[in-house]
Chains A and B, each alone.
Chain A
Amino acid sequence: MTDAVADTAIQETQHRSLWGDVWVQYRSHTGAMIGTVIFVAICLLVLLGPIFYDVDPNFTNVRDRNAPMSWAYPMGSDNLGRDMFAAILHGGRISLAVGLTAMLLSLFVGTFIGLLAGYFKWLDGPLMRLTDLFLALPLLPLLLVVVMLFRDVLRPIFGPELGIFLLIVFLIGITSWMQTARIVRGDVLALKEREFVLAARSIGTPPRRIIMRHLMPNILSPIMVSATLGVANAIITESALSFLGLGFPSDVPTWGRLLFDGKDFLTLTPARVIWPGLMISLTVLSVNFMGDGLRDALDPRIRGR
């Protein structure tokens, strides 16, 4: 009986790994699979699209303004005759780049603070009060002030587009790490009293190792989930900023800005609003489904079933 169990365990470790199990579970989540396919398609479209469809999104061709969808203008043209499809492709690069970078930043900050607060009791109070402070900050007024104060400082160093990119990524990252930090802290608090952590501590493992070897792998699932949610959040915040006419200069298309510019033309050329709106919604939705699937896949209790 015991032999049999041991045998299967050995066989299983030969054929199955943790990530293999996660992948099997993830594949069984239909929503996550659809989300992944759509997200990968969007990424490929905006990354490779401009190579094959090399139209300058800022080129104005006034004779063809407000054009409907056609072979020459797959998504129509705006009131200056700029090609909407090219703008969507170029805008997607920026929107996705902002989303992913800001997510990474907020993930890093959130995990770091959450781990410290959860593991070291004396840091818990100060760090959690700092988290509360950031949670209480109203995002948009803060962004307004910071963009106004630092735009001119960053412009000569990084140039107008990269400067504002860094600023926006930094701002979104720095204002969205709090949820991650709280989740991570909670999990760490529970985990660090578990027997395997106590055992590690009793043989003199330094805190750095306990955190990296024993705690991190166990809190990966909530981190992954908040990462996917973070991408969606960052894309929406960037859209909101562009929608308010802040953020990137008016000749840098982003999905949010295209939506903003198109809203006056809603009744005349609805394509100008529908396409960027659709791209934002699809991206956010697909990323959310991916997060949902990932959570199920990474949770060992669900995975077993």
Chain B
Amino acid sequence: MRLTHLLGTAVVLALGASAAMAERGADGQLNIIYWQAPSTMNPFLSGGTKEVEAASMVLEPLASYDQDGNIVPRLVEQLPTVENGGVAADLTSITWKIKPGILWSDGTPFTANDAVFTWQYCTHPEGGCSQSSYFDGVTSVEAVDDLTVKVIFAEPKPYPYTAFAGSESPVLQAAQFADCLGAKAPECTDANFGPIGTGPFVVTDFKPNDVISLEANPNYREADKPAFGSVLFKGGGDAASAARSVLETGEFDYAWNLQIEPEILTQMEAAGKGSVVVSFQTSVERLHLNQTNADSGLSAEERSVYNDGNNPHPFLTDPEVGKALSMAIDRELLVEVGYGKTGQVTCNVLPAPELYASTANDGCKTQDLEGAKAVLDAAGWVPGGDGVREKDGVRLSVLYQTSTNSVRQGTQALIKQWWNELGVEVELRNIDASVFFGGDPASPDTFQKFYADIEMYTNNFSGADPEAYMANWRCSEIPGPGTQWQGSNIQRFCKPEYDALVDEMAKTADLATRGELAKAMNDMIIQEYSIIPLIHRGGTSAHANTLGGVKMTDWDSELWNIADWHRVE
């Protein structure tokens, strides 16, 4: 009698269990490979795309961007607009209504206070938050009630979806990060490696610069998602082996950022195990010309430190030099050799959306070596005894660094040849991508420290509005020892006129005028030659043919809809 009863209970339990299994976690393990390994799961402490993307499986913003660049509600019931009263008529505030019943992965409720805390966390004066530009112009974030967040702007904000929109501006749990404000932020290792989130997955094990193990979040708001029970997020290696592991051997289901020579990618795809997806948004492979002196003889307090303009680069602050360097480059050839269908020539650091794309610099599309020589001659840079141009004892000799990747080394080799022809001495250096993009303040080889004259990498912005992105090049965003080398003004460009344009854009409502302002800012950066854009890159990833639901985007994290990913036969 008792035995039957027990058996009955067991059967019921088993049935219940299997019913649940059929939904969340039914598709087993998802294997993702990012050949740059994330060093933290806290996107506020790293400017790197890999950290932001890894964290986007766990931490969520209030609203995301879909594959077409449209903003879509995520943790809120609907998108606040002027029409539905969510955005104040005078554009000075936005009110987000959080969906009721959302839980953190530890089971506690998600409230407006968490958003308020996130704002305090990222705008703490000692913190050096990498994503602080998302909070530009925000005077306060208030919790009207438990489920209502009100973001108040200093000026009318025509595009109010900056704070808490997109994977670079997610919400942290106040309870977990309460003791991690300001300078203590990098010390909270447990929290930074295993943040509690509202997203579809929870970190079970985080090995920095190696592997992240995640499992389905038991408290995720949609009972039947995610379809995968666990995620193995492998970092490290190189782009070609990552592509091979998805396209040829099928060990992994998803590989990100496949910067590989076009001929190899085409050949791998022919194996038929997976497909390559390309999505053009805002990624631009560019050269940053260090505006500060990076001489290795300088002390740590001076090398590549802006020092209010008292430490200028010996020659890269001269726009004529930058102009000649840019003119000497044959971008068409770089695309043909290194990118194929995954790249286009560009002369702008802001190549899209259409409204914001300037056409003022299109002259760069054709190479003009003779013209470049003439520019340098006119500016007084004349060839010295060894063929290297010099002026007043300063030689045009640059150290040109980038991450280790065969496409990038190929680009380096081509550009070096053109610059040598111009009379510029070039020393090449390549640094392992995990170190280069690692953001470790103790390493001399990070792209933020920029201990070189010129460096090359790709950056982009998530979302469709470039306001926060263009604010990257404000004077106040310059990295330095005071901010633990955080900050996104990598080339140390500082111009009061530029800051004025940023401020003006922040209070301009009219879309056409905003377009003009963005173009003006783009042109200012390009024509000062602190950035030389090379290639408008499509995000290139590969997924196994058995993986369904991938909606490749460059507007947001590529993993933005990972909750919907599933196994297909």
A245:B296 contact, CB within 8 angstroms: no
Given contacts A148-B443, A152-B296, A251-B412, contact A58 B417 (CB under 8 A): yes
How does the 8 Å CB contact mask read for A238-276 relative to B, with 1 for contact and 0 for none?
000000110001110000000001011101100000000
Please, which residues of chain A bring their CB within 8 A of the CB of B467? none
Stretch among A6-14, A37-45, A60-68 lining the B interface: A60-68
A80:B444 contact, CB within 8 angstroms: no
Chain A binding surface SS class: loop
B443:A261 contact, CB within 8 angstroms: no
B333:A62 contact, CB within 8 angstroms: yes
Please, which residues of chain A bring their CB within 8 A of the CB of B260? 264
Let me know if B254 is at the binding interface, CB within 8 A.
no
Query: What separation, in Å, do the CA atoms of A56 and B344 have in the docked complex?
Result: 30
Given contacts A148-B444, A156-B296, contact A265 B264 (CB under 8 A): yes
A249:B444 contact, CB within 8 angstroms: no
B432:A245 contact, CB within 8 angstroms: yes
Number of inter-chain CB pairs below 8 Å: 66
A152:B451 contact, CB within 8 angstroms: yes
Please, which residues of chain A bring their CB within 8 A of the CB of B267? 267-268
Given contacts A152-B444, A265-B264, contact A251 B416 (CB under 8 A): yes
Query: What separation, in Å, do the CA atoms of A264 and B35 have in the docked complex?
Result: 15
Let me know if B558 is at the binding interface, CB within 8 A.
no
How does the 8 Å CB contact mask read for B433-452 relative to A, with 1 for contact and 0 for none?
00000000001110000010
Given contacts A249-B428, A251-B412, A268-B263, contact A261 B406 (CB under 8 A): yes
Please, which residues of chain B bring their CB within 8 A of the CB of A80? 337, 410, 413-414
Task: Kindly report which residue of chain B lies nearest to residue A267, judged by CB atoms.
Answer: B267
Point out the residue from B264, B413, B444, B445 that lies within 8 Å of A60, measured CB to CB: B413
Pick the most buried of A59, A60, A66: most chain B CB atoms within 10 A of its CB: A60
Please, which residues of chain A bring their CB within 8 A of the CB of B410? 79-80
Pick the most buried of A58, A80, A160, A263: most chain B CB atoms within 10 A of its CB: A80
Query: What separation, in Å, do the CA atoms of A80 and B261 have in the docked complex?
Result: 10
Query: What separation, in Å, do the CA atoms of A143 and B451 have in the docked complex?
Result: 20
Please, which residues of chain A bring their CB within 8 A of the CB of B142? none
B261:A58 contact, CB within 8 angstroms: no
Size of the A side of the interface (Cβ < 8 Å), in residues, is 26
User: Which positions 273-315 of chain B face chain A at CB distance < 8 Å?
Assistant: 296-297
Query: What separation, in Å, do the CA atoms of A263 and B260 have in the docked complex?
Result: 12
Please, which residues of chain A bring their CB within 8 A of the CB of B404? 245
User: Which positions 130-152 of chain A face chain B at CB distance < 8 Å?
Assistant: 148, 152
Point out the residue from A59, A153, A264, A268 that lies within 8 Å of B406, measured CB to CB: A264
Please, which residues of chain B bring their CB within 8 A of the CB of A213? none
Query: What separation, in Å, do the CA atoms of A244 and B261 have in the docked complex?
Result: 19
Interface size class, chain B: 20 to 34
Point out the residue from A155, A244, A268 that lies within 8 Å of B264, measured CB to CB: A268
| Minimum CB–CB distance for B416 against chain A, Å | 6
Please, which residues of chain B bring their CB within 8 A of the CB of A82? 413
Please, which residues of chain B bring their CB within 8 A of the CB of A152? 296, 444, 451
Let me know if B29 is at the binding interface, CB within 8 A.
no
Let me know if B240 is at the binding interface, CB within 8 A.
yes
Task: Kindly report which residue of chain A lies nearest to residue B334, judged by CB atoms.
Answer: A62
Given contacts A58-B413, A148-B443, contact A251 B428 (CB under 8 A): yes
| Minimum CB–CB distance for B369 against chain A, Å | 14
Task: Kindly report which residue of chain A lies nearest to residue B330, judged by CB atoms.
Answer: A62
Query: What separation, in Å, do the CA atoms of A153 and B427 have in the docked complex?
Result: 16
Query: What separation, in Å, do the CA atoms of A244 and B431 have in the docked complex?
Result: 10
Query: What separation, in Å, do the CA atoms of A7 and B432 have in the docked complex?
Result: 71
Please, which residues of chain B bring their CB within 8 A of the CB of A58? 413, 416-417
Let me know if B336 is at the binding interface, CB within 8 A.
yes
Interface CB pairs A-B, < 8 A, 30: A58-B417, A60-B413, A62-B333, A62-B336, A62-B337, A79-B261, A79-B337, A80-B337, A82-B413, A148-B445, A152-B296, A155-B296, A156-B297, A160-B427, A245-B430, A249-B427, A249-B429, A249-B430, A250-B413, A250-B428, A250-B429, A250-B430, A251-B412, A251-B428, A261-B409, A263-B240, A264-B240, A264-B261, A265-B264, A267-B267
Q: Enumerate chain A interface residues (CB-CB to B < 8 A).
A: 58-60, 62, 65-66, 79-80, 82, 148, 152-153, 155-156, 160, 244-245, 249-251, 261, 263-265, 267-268
Q: 3 nearest interchain CB pairs?
A: A245-B404, A264-B240, A152-B296
